[in-house]
Structure 1
Amino acid sequence: MNDIKISVILPVYNEQEYIQATLDSIINQNFDDYEVIVIDDGSTDDSLRIIKETFADSSISHKIIHQENSGVSVARNRGIEEACGEYIVFVDGDDYILTNHLSELYNPDYDFSLIQMIKNEGQNVSSPHVYGVEEISAKDFIKLELEMKVPFNFVQLSYKRDIIKNHGLRFREDISYGEDSDFALRALIYGDTIKISDEITYYYLQHQESLINTSKLKRFDFIPVLEDLGEFFRENSHPDLVELIRSSRIPRAIFGNMNYFFYNDYDYDEVIGKMNELDLFDKLSNFRGDRKFAFKIKLFLFNPKLYYKLWKKFKNSI
C-alpha cells in the first residue's frame, strides 16, 4: 500500500439513485495508484449492494466500510483513519468527477491542489472562478475565502495526508452545517502553497431532497463555527485572519443566509427571532468592506421590516 498516491474518501448514505454514476466516475480515472475508501453510513436502501457489486468487477484498490448511521463527519473521519495515500481527496455520494480529476489534483511538490467545480442546482448552473495564476499561498487563499472573493468547496482540494495526520485534523462531529469549510480552513493554515488548475473536474449536484435537508434555520449555526475558527487562528498567531472572520466572513454568512431564508419564503418573524436569539444583529454591524454590501447591511439594520418588504418586492435586486 506504500505506492498509493491518492486516497479517495466517499461517504454514502441512501444514495441509490446517484451512487452508480459517482462510482463509475471514480473508477474510470486516467490515473494510477489510488485507492477508494467507501464508508456506507447505515444506508437503508440499495446503496451498499450497488457499491459491492461495482467493486466486485473492478481492479481498483478499495475498502468498503459499513457503519451504523452516525453522520457524514463521522464517516469522513473514518475514511481519514483508513487512508494510506500521499494525498486525500473527498467526493460526495451524489456528485461525479471527470476522468482527469485525480491527475489534476496530484502535484507532489505542493501541500494542496485545487480544481474547479460546477454547481448544478435545478436550472441554475454556476460558473467557475478563473484565477489566472498557477499557484497561491495557502494563507492568501484563506484570506480570499474569508472575504468571499472566490467560490470554494472543500471537495475542490487535495490534502497532503501528513498535514492531516500530524495535526490531528478531523471533521467536527458536533455540528451539521459548515463542518467541511471548517476542516478545509484549519488544514490550509498548516500548508505552504496551493497548486491551482483551471480545469473543471468536479460536478456538484444539488438535489431537492438535499436542498430541503440544508435549508433549515440551522444554517445560522455556522456563525459559532466561524467564531471557533477565529479562536483557532488566534491561538495559532494569525490575528489578521481573526479580524477577517469578525469583520467579513461572519457578517457575510449572516446576511447571505438571511437572504436565503427570505428567498425561500421562511417566516419573517421566525428568521428575525432566530437572529435575535443568536445575537446576530450586533455581529452583522461589524462588517467592514465593500461599500455596496455595507449599504445593504445598514439599510437592513435601520429597518429590518422595510428591508424585508423591499427585498421580497424586488427579489434580491437590493
Structure 2
Amino acid sequence: MNTDNMRERAVAVSVVVPVYNVEKYIERCLDSLVRQNFGYKYEIIIVNDGTKDNSMTIADRFASKYDFIRIITQQNAGLSAARNTGLANARGEYIAFVDSDDFVSPFYISEMYTLAVKNNADIVQCRYCNYFEKSDRSINVLLSHRNGVIGGKKAFEKLISDVSVRNYAWNKMYRRSLFSDNNISYPVGKCFEDVITTPRLFACAENVAFTRKVLYSYAHRPDSITGLAGRKMVDSYLEAYLILSEYLAENGIYYSCRTRISVMTLKVLITLYGMIARQYMAGKGNGGSYISDCREVRNTVKKQLRLLSPAYLKRAQKKQLSKTN
C-alpha cells in the first residue's frame, strides 16, 4: 500500500465530546465540528455520559448523517470518566477535547494539526474567546501566549502560573501517546480535573506549539459546573490545587518553579475569594461569614505551602536525584 493511501485511511485526529444534559447547545457544537476545513481523516467520538434529556436524539441525527461520528454510551460517571472513555476508544494520532456546550472555528482542527506535525509538537494550544449565552457576545481572551514553539520544560513552567498558558483541557490538541506512554488519565470523581491532569501532560511533553489564532469559543452559562458557586465547588477547586502542589513537591519541581507557583497561589486565592463571594450573593453561604470562610481557605493554602518548606524540598530533591541515579 502506498504512503498516500495509508495517510488517507489513517485517522489523524480524534475529537472527544462528552455529553450530559446539553440539548440546548449540542447541535451548535456538533455543527461546528462537522464543518471542519481539514484535508485528512478525523473522527468525532461522542461519549453519552448517561444524559437524561434529548441530547442524544440530536447526536443520533448527526451520527446517521456523518460516518466519522461514533457514539459510545456509559452510565453517568462524570466528565473525567467520559474523557477517559473517549481516550480509550480514540484512533487518531492526535486527540482533542471539546465540551459539548462550546464550539470551534472551521479551521480549529487544521490549524492545530498542521502546527503539531510541522513542529513535531506533543501539545498545541490555541487562543480562545469567552462566549456569553445571555448577551450572545464573544470577547477574546486578552492575556495570551505568543506564536511559536518552546520546549516542554519551559512550557510547563509557564503553565504553572496559569496566566498566558492555561490548564484547560479544551483549547489544546495532544499527541495521543502522551497519555498512554505516561499512564495519564483524568481523575474520576474530581471537579477541576484539568488542574490535576494538564500539568502532568506538559511535564511529559518535549515540544509545545502555540498559535494566537482564536479557534475555540468557551461558552459561559449559568447552569454549567463552573457557573455554580456552591460550597462543593469551592472545596473541589481548592482540593485540585492541593493535589497539584503535592505533585510538584513529590517530583522535586516546586523549588525550580517557586516564583511561578507564588503567582499561581495568589491567583488561586483570588479565585477562591470570588467563588465564596458568589456563594454568599446567591444565598448559599457556609453558615459563617464571608470573611471567616476566606480566612479558612487562606489558612488551608498556607498549611499546604508549609509542606513545601526548605526541609521538605531537600527531601524531595534527594528523592528526585535518587531516581535519576
Q: Contact 1:135/1:195 (CA < 8 Å) preserved in 2?
A: yes
Residue 28 in structure 1 maps to residue 41 in structure 2: no
Name the structure 2 match of 1:159. 174
Distance 1:241 1:222 in 2: 24
Name the structure 1 match of 2:199. 185
Instruction: Give the deviation of 1:235 after TM superposition.
Output: 3.4
Q: What TM-score, normalized by structure 2, do the two folds share?
A: 0.78
Unaligned runs of 5+ in 2: 1-5, 306-325
Q: Contact 1:10/1:38 (CA < 8 Å) preserved in 2?
A: yes
Do the aligned partners of residues 166 and 151 (structure 1) sit closer, same or farther apart at CA in structure 2, a change above 3 Å counting?
closer
In the TM superposition, what are the counterparts of 1:102-121 in structure 2 within 5 Å? 102-106=109-113, 107-108=116-117, 109-121=120-132
Residue 127 in structure 1 maps to residue 148 in structure 2: no
Instruction: Give the deviation of 1:13 after TM superposition.
Output: 0.5
Do the aligned partners of residues 118 and 212 (structure 1) sit closer, same or farther apart at CA in structure 2, a change above 3 Å counting?
closer
Which shifted more, 43-52 or 216-225? 216-225
Alignment RMSD (CA, Å): 2.7
Distance 1:8 1:89 in 2: 5
Deviations 1:118-158 (A, max 9, x none): 11234474433443331223332332232233262221111
Instruction: Give the deviation of 1:43 after TM superposition.
Output: 1.1
Q: Contact 2:63/2:71 (CA < 8 Å) preserved in 1?
A: no
Specify the SS of the correspondent of 1:170. coil
Distance 2:304 2:17 in 1: 38
Unaligned runs of 5+ in 1: 288-318
Instruction: Give the deviation of 1:232 after TM superposition.
Output: 2.1
Distance 2:291 2:238 in 1: 15
1:280 equivalent among 289, 298, 301: 298
Q: Contact 1:143/1:244 (CA < 8 Å) preserved in 2?
A: no
Residue 139 in structure 1 maps to residue 153 in structure 2: yes
Name the structure 2 match of 1:37. 45
Instruction: Give the deviation of 1:216 after TM superposition.
Output: 1.7
Amino acid in the other structure paired with 1:37? I
Do the aligned partners of residues 250 and 214 (structure 1) sit closer, same or farther apart at CA in structure 2, a change above 3 Å counting?
farther
Deviations 1:245-303 (A, max 9, x none): 753323321222212432562548354454455x523635999xxxxxxxxxxxxxxxx
Distance 2:58 2:236 in 1: 35
Amino acid in the other structure paired with 1:127? N
Distance 1:50 1:138 in 2: 39
Sequence identity, in percent? 23
Instruction: Give the deviation of 1:198 after TM superposition.
Output: 1.2
1:224 equivalent among 239, 246, 250: 239
Q: What TM-score, normalized by structure 1, do the two folds share?
A: 0.80
Distance 1:286 1:125 in 2: 37
Name the structure 1 match of 2:321. none
Amino acid in the other structure paired with 1:110? A
Which shifted more, 98-107 or 235-244? 235-244
Q: Contact 2:276/2:294 (CA < 8 Å) preserved in 1?
A: no
Distance 2:60 2:257 in 1: 45
**Number of residues paired by the alignment?**
284
Name the structure 2 match of 1:234. 249
Specify the SS of the correspondent of 1:210. coil
Name the structure 2 match of 1:206. 220
Name the structure 2 match of 1:175. 190
Specify the SS of the correspondent of 2:69. strand
Distance 2:105 2:138 in 1: 17
Name the structure 2 match of 1:5. 12
Amino acid in the other structure paired with 1:114? Q
